[in-house]
């Protein structure tokens, strides 16, 4: 199956380069030079993944991302951020982005991120039919086969990275998992991933799953060590 990728990028040279490299890898690519045009394309055509620059003229990437998720468009979104703009990364993740790359980036890195997001969006099945398909802590139910999470009977939207992070904590069975171990398991030691990235994703998990994110009951910090999940 040929995956369809939408690139929303106002820099003509960068958009051209992204399109060329993605098409060489076998993807069907559409491009848009503005947030307005990109959002219209995403609403009118089925796409499997969206590469979205945050700094767009007019309708910026944040508003495009918000519009996509409000419209129920669940395709993975890979955002392009400026180096050192940590606040933009956090805001993008909170609005529903699935991953990010920081400019300037290498083509191989971007292609690896695209491939990983598409693979996860395809719904990796873990041990279908086993007791580990569904795991629970507190009011939260984690369904591995469908990669969904339910809290108090309501499905909670997690990004692929947030889901993978939650599974990594579950698999530790209450033991402490260091930030370095989480970076290895969830991000495969990608060069721009730091312990701050792990902390940001943990904070998002708490915000979505804990009754009191500032005083978590389940996703716990172990000082100078890492994190653990209490069931």
**pLDDT at position 58:** 83
Confidence check: pLDDT of 57 > 90? no
Q: What is the pLDDT of residue 191?
A: 60
51 exposure class (CB count in 10 Å sphere: 0-12, 13-18, 19+) = buried
**Over pLDDT 90: what percentage of the chain?**
43
DSSP three-state, residue 140: strand
Helix (H, G, I), strand (E, B) or coil at 187: helix
Stretch 144-156: mean pLDDT: 84
Is the Cβ–Cβ distance between 30 and 45 less than 8 Å? yes
Query: Ranked by mean pLDDT, which of 136-140, 148-152, 202-206 comes out on top?
Result: 202-206
pLDDT of residue 133: 64
Neighbours of 182 (CB within 10 A): 24
- Over residues 23-49, the mean pLDDT reads 92
Q: What is the largest CA-CA distance in the chain?
A: 51
In whole angstroms, what is the distance from residue 67 CA to residue 63 CA? 6
Distance CA 140, CA 128 (A): 20
Q: What is the pLDDT of residues 109-144, one digit of tens each?
A: 888 889 888 887 764 333 333 344 678 898 999 887
User: Quick one: which of 15, 6, 80 has its CA closest to 44?
Assistant: 6
| Predicted pLDDT at 33 | 93
How far apart (Å, rounded) are the C-alpha atoms in residues 93 and 87? 10
SS3 state at 171? helix
Mean pLDDT of the chain: 86
Tokens of 215: 């005083």
Confidence of residue 209 (pLDDT cuts 50, 70, 90): very high
The helix or strand, by DSSP H or E, that contains position 14, with its residue range, turns out to be helix 12-24
The whole-angstrom separation of Cα 96 and Cα 119 is: 18
Domains in the chain, start-ordered, CATH in brackets? 4-121 (3.40.50.2300), 131-229 (1.10.10.10)
In this predicted model, which residue has the larger pLDDT, 134 or 192?
134
What does the pLDDT average to over 52-63? 91
């Amino acid at each position: 199956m040929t995956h369809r990728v939408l690139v929303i990028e106002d820099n003509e040279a960068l958009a051209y380069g992204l399109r060329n490299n993605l098409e060489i890898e076998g993807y069907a690519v559409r491009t848009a030079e503005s947030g307005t045009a990109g959002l219209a394309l995403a609403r009118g055509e089925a796409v499997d993944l969206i590469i979205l620059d945050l700094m767009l003229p007019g309708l910026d990437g944040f508003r495009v991302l918000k519009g996509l998720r409000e419209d129920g468009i669940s395709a993975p979104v890979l955002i392009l951020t400026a180096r050192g703009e940590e606040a933009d990364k956090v805001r993008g993740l909170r609005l529903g982005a699935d991953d990010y790359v920081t400019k300037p980036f290498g083509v191989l890195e971007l292609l690896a991120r695209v491939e990983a997001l598409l693979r996860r969006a395809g719904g990796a099945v873990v041990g279908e039919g086993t007791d580990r398909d569904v795991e629970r802590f507190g009011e939260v139910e984690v369904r591995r086969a469908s990669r969904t999470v339910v809290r108090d009977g309501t499905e909670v939207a997690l990004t692929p990275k947030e889901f993978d992070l939650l599974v990594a904590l579950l698999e530790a069975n209450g033991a402490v998992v260091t930030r370095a171990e989480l970076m290895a398991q969830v991000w495969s030691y990608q060069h721009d991933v730091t312990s701050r990235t792990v902390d940001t994703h943990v904070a998002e998990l708490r915000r979505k799953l804990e009754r009191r994110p500032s005083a978590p009951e389940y996703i716990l910090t172990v000082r100078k060590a890492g994190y653990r999940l209490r069931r």
